[in-house]
A and B are shown apart, each in its own frame.
Chain A
Amino acid sequence: TQLLEQSPQFLSIQEGENLTVYCNSSSVFSSLQWYRQEPGEGPVLLVTVVTGGEVKKLKRLTFQFGDARKDSSLHITAAQPGDTGLYLCAGTNAGGTSYGKLTFGQGTILTVHP
Chain B
Amino acid sequence: GAVVSQHPSRVICKSGTSVKIECRSLDFQATTMFWYRQFPKQSLMLMATSNEGSKATYEQGVEKDKFLINHASLTLSTLTVTSAHPEDSSFYICSAFGDGLDQPQHFGDGTRLSIL
Interface residues of A, Cβ cutoff 8 Å to B = 6, 30-31, 33, 35, 40-45, 48, 50, 86, 88, 92, 94, 97, 99-102, 104-107, 109
Chief secondary structure at chain B's binding surface: strand
Interface residues of B, Cβ cutoff 8 Å to A = 4, 6, 32, 34, 41-46, 49, 57, 91, 93, 95, 97, 101-110, 112
A-B contacts, 27 listed (Cβ < 8 Å)? A6-B43, A30-B101, A30-B102, A31-B102, A33-B104, A33-B105, A40-B109, A42-B107, A42-B108, A43-B44, A44-B107, A45-B104, A45-B105, A86-B41, A92-B102, A94-B101, A97-B57, A100-B32, A100-B49, A100-B97, A100-B105, A101-B34, A101-B49, A102-B95, A104-B43, A106-B42, A109-B41
Since A48-B102, A104-B45, A107-B43 are in contact, a sample of 6 more A-B pairs with Cβ atoms closer than 8 Å, ordered by chain A residue number, is A30-B101, A42-B6, A50-B102, A100-B97, A102-B105, A104-B43
Q: From B10, which residue of chain A is reached at the shortest CB distance?
A: A40
| Chain A nearest CB, measured from B51 CB (Å) | 10
| Chain B nearest CB, measured from A22 CB (Å) | 15
Q: Which residues of A contact B104 (CB under 8 A)?
A: 33, 45, 48
- Contact A40–B102 (Cβ < 8 Å): no
Q: Which residues of B contact A92 (CB under 8 A)?
A: 102
Inter-chain CB contacts under 8 Å: number? 64
- Contact B93–A42 (Cβ < 8 Å): yes
- Contact A101–B43 (Cβ < 8 Å): no
B32, B41, B44, B110 interface centre (most CB from chain A within 10 Å)? B44
Q: From B108, which residue of chain A is reached at the shortest CB distance?
A: A42
Q: Which residues of A contact B57 (CB under 8 A)?
A: 97
Per the bound structure, the CA–CA distance linking A75 and B39 in Å amounts to: 26
Q: From B60, which residue of chain A is reached at the shortest CB distance?
A: A1
Q: B42's contact among A33, A50, A107, by CB below 8 Å, is which? A: A107
